[in-house]
Structure 1
Amino acid sequence: MSELSPNTRSWLEATGFAIGEEALWHTAMTHGSTGEKRDYQRLEFLGDRVLGLVIADWLYDRSNAPEGRLSQRLNALVSREMCAEIARKIGLPPHIRISKQAQDDGGRDSDNILGDVIEALLGAQFQENGFEAARVLIHRLWREALEGDAGTAKHPKSALQEWAAGNQRRPPEYSLVGRSGPDHAARFTVKVEVPNVGAVEATASSKQEAEKHAAKAFMEKFG
């Protein structure tokens, strides 16, 4: 009996993963909430290191920037937020094997879970097909981020935090004010407020992304 559903196998292959032993990929897609004997954690540990090495090698080869700048970009490109963004872009969420309770709690849109699963899949790619296959796939999936400005500017939330401190204001406060849509396409509305200054709302496909957009909008309005 196949370890993967035909739909998930087709999606993996269309995305660029080379499938051999289905049990390995089944494990890479399995969240611990299912209670199964094997989940993605060990593969995530491996994939995290593979991703970091590939991105570091790319940055070293393509840039003459000093170590501090390289580290800043590396941290942004391998961040949980970036991994989750890539995962959403390639359509990963519906394929994650997760318990109903974890799904109801928003697990399919969790940056932590999405980031872990895509790193587990990279670990499986490395384990089964070797480093070069993993490198080629990471370059393809991360190309837009690699060639863009990820990591060259401060994260909007960090910029807002520093702005508030520099202007002797209380720290920004984030709150979830709305959620709509089905689990696989949920939309989150977040409000960020700096007391005695103002508040701004923003909506995105994850709470973390909505917070980022809200912080950016706040700085554009009040900063």
Structure 2
Amino acid sequence: MKLSADVRAFQDRLGYQFRKPELLVRALTHPSIASETRPSNQRLEFLGDRVLNLIIAEALFTADTVADEGQLAPRYNALVRKETCADAARQIDLGAALKLGRSEMMSGGRRKNALLGDAMEAVIAAIYLDGGLDAAKPVVLRLWGERIENAEERARDPKTALQEWAQARGMPPPSYVLLERTGPDHAPEFTIAAKLKTGEEAISRAGSKRQAEQSAATKLLDALDRK
């Protein structure tokens, strides 16, 4: 099967060469453009979610040999939630390769957390079906690597963590500013900036204000950690 240029470029960014490229094409096909001859990625998403769960659970179990179930569970939840999957998808610009229907494309589907997260899980399933767990595991560990290392920090609510970071340095709490609301009433999209008094800020977009605020807080925390 011959891949289009955008899918070939994505395969390179993913770092895995498919023996059965039709699996990758299916993983990138959103239901809005699917047909009888072109199945969507929904079944793959179901499988990929389970593959991701196993890989992340094992990685956390191995990384911290003394943490109990009560400590590991919130770290696991933070790493497998849809927002984290979407962030991993953005890391390799999965949105550029997504195959969407016109209406979904016009409403900014390539940037939506839900679509990106679902597609990331579908891609993981495609790798698993193509090469087994031994193929899927290194890809997930590479994309989630830094997130796994910082899992304990990520397990906390990001808005609370950012507020604690600011207060520990004598700053007022961060502010969250709505920059833009787009999309129809049934599928709105909110762009929100998380800001500190010192001028640092991060911007995120999501289908609800809460998700956008949480995502912006996470991005700002990540940027502060890198400093």
Corresponding residue for residue 7 of structure 2? 8
Shift of 1:191: 7.5
Corresponding residue for residue 78 of structure 2? 76
Change (3 A) 1:40 1:151: farther
Corresponding residue for residue 147 of structure 1? 149
Change (3 A) 1:118 1:213: closer
| 2:75 and 2:155 in contact (8 A); partners too | no
| 1:76 and 1:150 in contact (8 A); partners too | no
TM-score (norm 2): 0.72
Letter in 2 for 1:120: A
User: CA–CA distance in 1 between the matches of 2:108 and 2:152?
Assistant: 26
Corresponding residue for residue 115 of structure 2? 113
Corresponding residue for residue 56 of structure 2? 55
TM-score (norm 1): 0.73
Secondary structure at 1:98's aligned position in 2? coil
Corresponding residue for residue 33 of structure 1? 32
Shift of 1:153: 4.4
Letter in 1 for 2:125: G
1:22 matches 2:21: yes
2:126 maps to which of 115, 124, 131: 124
| 1:60 and 1:70 in contact (8 A); partners too | yes
Which residues of structure 2 form unaligned runs of 5+? 163-175, 183-188, 195-200, 221-227
Shift of 1:114: 0.3
Alignment length, in residue pairs?
188
Measured on the aligned residues, the alpha-carbon RMSD in Å equals: 2.9
Shift of 1:10: 3.0
| 2:83 and 2:215 in contact (8 A); partners too | no
1:134 matches 2:136: yes
Secondary structure at 1:206's aligned position in 2? strand
User: CA–CA distance in 1 between the matches of 2:16 and 2:217?
Assistant: 36
Shift of 1:151: 5.2
Shift of 1:105: 1.4
Shift of 1:90: 1.2
User: In percent, how many aligned pairs have the same letter?
Assistant: 39
| 1:203 and 1:210 in contact (8 A); partners too | no
Shift of 1:155: 1.6
Change (3 A) 1:72 1:108: same
Letter in 2 for 1:21: K
User: CA–CA distance in 2 between the matches of 1:153 and 1:52?
Assistant: 15
Shift of 1:25: 1.1
Corresponding residue for residue 221 of structure 1? none
User: CA–CA distance in 2 between the matches of 1:66 and 1:97?
Assistant: 42
Shift of 1:7: 2.9
Secondary structure at 2:180's aligned position in 1? strand
User: CA–CA distance in 2 between the matches of 1:16 and 1:191?
Assistant: 32
User: CA–CA distance in 2 between the matches of 1:214 and 1:142?
Assistant: 19
Which residues of structure 1 form unaligned runs of 5+? 161-173, 181-186, 193-201, 218-223
User: CA–CA distance in 1 between the matches of 2:123 and 2:157?
Assistant: 27
| 1:15 and 1:90 in contact (8 A); partners too | yes
The correspondence of residues 193-212 of structure 1 with structure 2, limited to 5 A, is 204-207=203-206, 210-212=212-214
